[in-house]
């Protein structure tokens, strides 16, 4: 780990992206003998795992460029229920016991390829009038999330065994997989939420090259 560097970290579930940054900062500061400057280039939700690009020192000035890179995710979508947050951390509601066929699911996901309009989830880190949307939502305030144009380059089915649908998708920066999951559920009439999410690639940066970090420990280590 160096002072002016780009680090690839495999974030585990159960830790925030800011928690990852704090641990890298703590370890690098100890190594350098002074307070290190460390930043991230795009967050992952606490329940999500996978690739984060962490920048240190002078490389922090390039964080914005890294954040604009396209990304690849693998996700598990659970049909038949909805979540207030679009993920397992929210309040779940049973919607339907309807079991769509694989052909019906394939037809549904075709609607979410290419350039699409997406409304980000209310529980997100997007700032509304200078405040994080998730902070407003947790206080019970009604948040009107602005729509945005995003690009879904690829969206493929990995496996389907009701109620779980596993997908792999290559998307532009700013795309919310939780919203794709919810929207697929709406099209199918079953309801849906994203139960698992893993980011495997950011442009040319691959999860196979990332260092690991334990959710309950501070140490970084090479991938085994």
State yes or no: cis peptide before 46, omega within 30 of 0: no
What's the rounded Cα separation, in Å, for the pair 203 and 52? 12
- DSSP-based helix, strand, coil % in the chain, nearest 5: 25, 35, 40
For 106, left (φ over 0), alpha (ψ -120 to 50), or beta? alpha
Name the active-site residue from 45, 183, 206, 216: 45
The end-to-end CA distance of the chain, in Å, is 18
Q: Is the dihedral of CA 80, 115, 75, 166 positive or negative?
A: positive
Decide if 45 is catalytic: yes
What's the rounded Cα separation, in Å, for the pair 215 and 224? 17
- Residues with a catalytic annotation lie at 45
């Amino acid at each position: 780990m160096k002072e002016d560097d780009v680090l690839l970290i495999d974030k585990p579930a159960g830790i925030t992206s800011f928690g990852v940054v704090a641990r890298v900062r703590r370890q690098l500061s100890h190594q350098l003998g002074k307070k290190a400057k460390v930043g991230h280039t795009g967050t992952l939700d606490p329940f999500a795992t996978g690739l984060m690009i962490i920048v240190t020192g002078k490389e922090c000035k390039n964080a914005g460029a890294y954040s604009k890179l396209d990304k690849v995710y693998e996700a598990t979508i659970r049909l038949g229920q909805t979540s207030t947050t679009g993920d397992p951390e929210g309040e779940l509601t049973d919607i339907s016991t309807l079991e769509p066929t694989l052909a019906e699911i394939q037809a549904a996901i075709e609607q979410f390829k290419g350039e699409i309009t997406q409304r980000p989830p209310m529980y997100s880190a997007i700032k509304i009038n200078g405040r994080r949307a998730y902070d407003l939502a947790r206080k019970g305030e009604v948040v009107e999330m602005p729509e945005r144009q995003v690009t879904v380059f690829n969206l493929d089915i990995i496996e389907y065994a009701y109620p779980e649908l596993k997908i792999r998708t290559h998307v532009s920066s700013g795309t919310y997989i939780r919203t794709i999951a919810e929207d697929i559920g709406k099209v199918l009439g079953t309801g849906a939420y994203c139960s698992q999410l893993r980011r495997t690639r950011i442009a040319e940066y691959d999860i196979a090259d990332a260092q690991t970090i334990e959710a309950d420990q501070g140490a970084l280590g090479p991938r085994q």
